[in-house]
Amino acid sequence: MIELIYFERKLVMKKILIGEDEVLLKQLKKSRRNFWLELTSPSMDELAFLGKIFHLHSLVIEDIFKVETKPKFEDYRNYDFFVLHGVHTKNNSMVGVHEMEFVLGKNFLISSHNTIIETFVNFKKNPDVIARHIQKGIDFLFHHLLDMEIDNFFPVLDELDAKIDAISDKVIREPKPIHLDALLKLKKQLISVKKYVVPQRDIMAQISKGNSSFISEKALLYFRDLYDHMIRIADSIDLWRELISGAMEVSLGVISNKMNEVITVLTIITTILMPLTFITGIYGMNFKRMPGLNWEYSFPVILVLMALVSLLMLRFFKKKGWI
């Protein structure tokens, strides 16, 4: 679906049909009036239609059509092409990543996405705000769309941070394999998000340095602010990854210490039982003549001897600091 948004006395929002609205788009492009084309799950026919009007390169059309394109910024002389990503929380509380493509020209902005983006949907419900940004400059509209998506990183990652803290506390108090699995899943989520955040941070750095021919000097200051946000997000992800790694190391250390304690107790019990088993083994042999077999006090004496051996061994272990 292609939606055209432009200002003509008041904001106009209309769906574009292939073939029928070609003249309108060409007129808007030539008039230098700012306008925004919003694409949601565009078909190849729709992209070919726009490619003919805006002279989009076949590689740009391919990148817009396919999914899972890495973040990129490319200069095509008559327009700049961007592939950027935002985040959202899935139903299972996992962090999801959605892709957005932007074609920025002198007086037009084409945005495309294959999933419904809530920030864009809510933004289109405020025609006055859209009109203000379009009149201010198409680069300011581009900035606002990016600003909404980058700001959306913070609540999603804050929620992830809260989960990390909660699970880390459980890991320290009561280390269990299930908690380690939960930390490992969170770490994988952070790694998947960082895979997009780092190159996107670099793209914001390029934009803030004025590498885009279609972003004015007035707008550059705002894009520098976006670059600062991306730095904060990338640094936070690194910090959280370190916290998760630290919590996992502490948990493994606690589990190892508990296992060592159990092994120590079992070893002491086994060691104490060894001489007792030796004594009972000797007197359990079926010989007719053995010292003390006919003595009436032999059984209690053997019991006292076994108890004395056990006490002496415990004292020896304690002196060595093994218990």
> What is the rounded average pLDDT for all residues in the chain?
85
**Residue from 140, 136, 152 nearest 104 by CA:** 140
The burial class, CB within 10 Å (0-12 / 13-18 / 19+), for 170 is middle
Whole-structure pTM value:
0.78
Q: Which helix (H) or strand (E) holds 36?
A: strand 35-40
What proportion of the chain, given as a percentage, has pLDDT over 70?
92
pLDDT of residue 283: 65
The strand pair at 72-75 and 95-104 is best described as unpaired
**Residue from 111, 39, 122 nearest 79 by CA:** 111
Asked if residues 249 and 172 have their Cβ atoms less than 8 Å apart, the reply is: no
- Can you identify the CATH homologous superfamily of domain 2-254? CorA soluble domain-like (3.30.460.20)
- Distance CA(110)–CA(16), nearest Å, equals 13
b/e per residue 252-286 (b: at least 16 CB within 10 A):
eeeeeeeeeeeeeeeeeeeebeeebeeeeeeeeee
Tens-place pLDDT, residues 114-152:
989 999 999 999 999 999 999 999 999 999 999 999 999
Question: Which amino acid type is present at position 126?
Answer: N
pLDDT of residue 164: 81
Does residue 257 register a pLDDT over 80? no
- Kindly list the distances between the CA atom of residue 310 and the CA atoms of 209, 266, 299, 319, in Å, as whole numbers in the listed order: 79, 15, 17, 14
Pair of tokens at residue 234: 């990338």
Domain ranges of the chain: 2-254, 286-323
The more confident residue out of 93 and 55 is: 55
- Distance CA(118)–CA(245), nearest Å, equals 33
pLDDT of residue 271: 75
pLDDT of residue 320: 67
Return the minimum-mean-pLDDT range out of 16-30, 125-139, 190-204, 259-273: 259-273
- Distance CA(323)–CA(316), nearest Å, equals 10
Tens-place pLDDT, residues 267-303:
777 777 777 776 676 666 665 666 666 676 677 777 7
Give Rg (Cα) of the chain. Answer: 36
The whole-angstrom distance between residue 150's C-alpha and the CA centroid of its chain comes to 14
